[in-house]
A = this chain, B = another copy of it.
Amino acid sequence: MPRVRHKTFDCSAGCPVEGVLNLIDGKWKGVILYHLMSGTLRFNEIRRKLVNVTQRMLTNQLRELEADGLIIRKVYAEVPPKVEYSLSERGRSLEPVINALKAWGDANLAVDKIDVEAA
């Protein structure tokens, strides 16, 4: 499992920018946060939204988000297991950031263009 992502952020002026990026990059974190903005989701609900994610990766990403205090993991003592993920206060405060990302993406990552570059 990828270990401690948090070292100390000793950097200069642009540092906060990198700091946030360290929290939300990782192949699936952005999308996970985005989906959780719409409400609580269970493990497999998230999995179905992130089409190609493996269980291991999803678990990893969720654990890291949890460790960074952005999401809350709630386990129900049931069988079959039930685990719900939701945004914490801190996670919810990221909403403007995620929205800015989404807005720019929508405006500047037109599908045609991606097609051309990917081809």
State the A residues within 8 Å of B (CB).
Answer: 1-6, 8-21, 24-25, 27-28, 30-35, 49-52, 69, 90, 93-94, 96-116, 118-119
Contact = CB atoms under 8 A, between A and B. Distances in A.
Contacts of A5: 111
A22 B119 CA distance: 17
| Stoichiometry (number of copies) | 2
B49 A10 contact: no
B30 A21 contact: yes
A5 B24 CA distance: 18
B112 A104 contact: no
A15 B27 CA distance: 11
A57 B112 CA distance: 26
